[in-house]
Amino acid sequence: MHKFISAQDKDLAPIFEKRCLLSTVHLIEFARDFTGVDCPYSQQDLNRLKEAHEAVREDKFLDEVYGHQSKLDNDPWLKGVSTKSSWIFDSKQLRQRVFEAAKIQQVRVD
């Protein structure tokens, strides 16, 4: 356990990116590759989704958890992540934020 967590922690960006990719681009690619479902998104859409994680991390997650501070002690950080930004643990909510940041309409595939 760290005494404090910085908003610029070197481990945060790659983990956040991977969570966003797993709930969007990778999920779409897995569905296409393993089920044969046609992809309703263009390659340009997928590229925009791949880039949107930065905006979600900076403009949503970090603002909610850190506010105007650059670092938090461990306990306040855990409380902020588990309450204000608990959506990071729900792939549906995370996916919604990534699509919004990429300005792409989600397509429902039945």
Q: Which residue has the tokens 């070197």?
A: 10
- The pLDDT score that the predictor gives to residue 107 is 86
Complete DSSP assignment for 14-40: HHHHHHHHHHTHHHHHHHHHHH-PPP-
Q: Is the pLDDT of residue 46 over 80?
A: yes
- The pLDDT score that the predictor gives to residue 47 is 96
Left, alpha or beta for 6 (phi > 0: left; psi -120 to 50: alpha)?
Answer: beta
- The pLDDT score that the predictor gives to residue 1 is 64
Give 5-23 pLDDT, tens digit per residue. 999 999 999 999 999 999 9
* Helical spans, DSSP H, in 1-110: 12-23, 25-35, 43-55, 63-66, 74-83, 91-102
Whole-model pTM above 0.85? yes
- The pLDDT score that the predictor gives to residue 109 is 62
Domain boundaries, the chain: 9-102
Q: Which residue has the tokens 């005494």?
A: 3
